[in-house]
Structure 1
Amino acid sequence: MSEKFSPPAAQLPTDKELVLKVIPMPADTNGNGDIFGGWVMAQVDLAGSVLPARHIQGRMATVAVNEFIFKQPVRVGDILSFYAAVTRIGNTSVTVEVEVFAERFATQGQFVKVTEARLTYVAIDAQGRPRPVPKPAAPLAG
C-alpha cells in the first residue's frame, strides 16, 4: 500500500512582508503537469523587487539570484503567497530573501513552503549603469 507524501503544514513567516499572491494556471505547467520552475522564478523575481523598490526609488535590475531552492512542487490552482524581507542594503544594491507558500486547492487554510530564494537588485541610472541607493532621510528630532 502506498501513501501519498504530504509535507507538514508550515507557519507563515512573521518576520517578512506579504508582497504578492498569485494562482498558477494550466498554461504555466511543465511536461509533468506541475508548474514550470521558470514561471515560479519569474514570480519570485517580481515579488523580490517590491521591497528594494522602496529603497532604490527608481530604476533597478536583478543582478544576482544568489540562491534558489524548490522544496515542493507547485500545482495548478494553488494559492501562492510570497513573503519578502530585505537582508542587506549596500552602496548600489539591495539583497532580499523571498519565501513562497502554497495553499493547496484541496486544503484551504493550510500552507506548505514550496520555494525560498535570495536575490540581489542593483539601482541603475537612465543609461543602465549602477548608481548609489539613496540613504534614508534622518529621523526628525523631537
Structure 2
Amino acid sequence: MPMPSDANIHGDVFGGWIMAQVDIAGSIPATRRAQGRVATIAVNAFTFKQPVFVGDLLSFYVSIVKTGRTSITVEVEVYAERSRLQMETVKVTEATLTYVATDDQRRSRELPPLK
C-alpha cells in the first residue's frame, strides 16, 4: 500500500515507486527459477493504465513467459483495490522484465535444469 511519502502533493503515486515494486515482484519467481541471485537486465515494456493513489491496496501477479540459457522473462500485472469499502478493483500497470541469473561474482550463469 503506497503511503503519502510515495506520492506527489495531489496524492498520485510516483511512477518510479510503482516500477520499484514491480521489479521486486518480478524478481521473486525469477530468483526461484534461477535457484539463486538474479539481476534485472531489461524492462522490455511498462504501461501505466490507471493512476495509483495513496491508500490503494496493490496486488502483483507475475508469470514467467520465457527462459533462455541465462535469462528469465516475466510479465507482471498490477491491480489496485481502490476503496476497501466498495471493493473496486482496477488494473493499473502491466510490465515485462528480463532478469539474468548471476554467480557470486555477479557474472551471468546458466540456469539450472528444471527438476
Same fold (TM over 0.5): yes
Question: In the alignment, what sits opposite 1:71?
Answer: 49
What amino acid maps onto 1:36 in structure 2?
A: F
What is the percent sequence identity of the aligned residues? 61
Pairwise CA distance, 1:35 = 0.3
Q: Could you list the runs of 5+ residues in structure 1 that have no partner in the other structure?
A: 1-22, 138-142
Question: In the alignment, what sits opposite 1:36?
Answer: 14
Secondary structure, counterpart of 1:130 in structure 2: coil
Secondary structure, counterpart of 2:33 in structure 1: helix
2 CA distance for matches of 1:65 and 1:33?
Answer: 26
Q: Output the aligned Cα RMSD.
A: 1.2
Number of equivalences: 115
Secondary structure, counterpart of 1:128 in structure 2: coil
- Residue number among 109, 112, 115 corresponding to 2:90 in the alignment: 112
Q: Could you list the runs of 5+ residues in structure 2 that have no partner in the other structure?
A: none
Pairwise CA distance, 1:32 = 3.8
The aligned runs of 1:1-142 (5 Å cut-off) are 23-105=1-83, 108-137=86-115
TM-score of the superposed pair, with normalisation by structure 1: 0.77
TM-score of the superposed pair, with normalisation by structure 2: 0.95
Highest Rg: 1 or 2?
Answer: 1
Which structure 1 residue ranges, 4+ long, deviate > 6 Å from structure 2? none
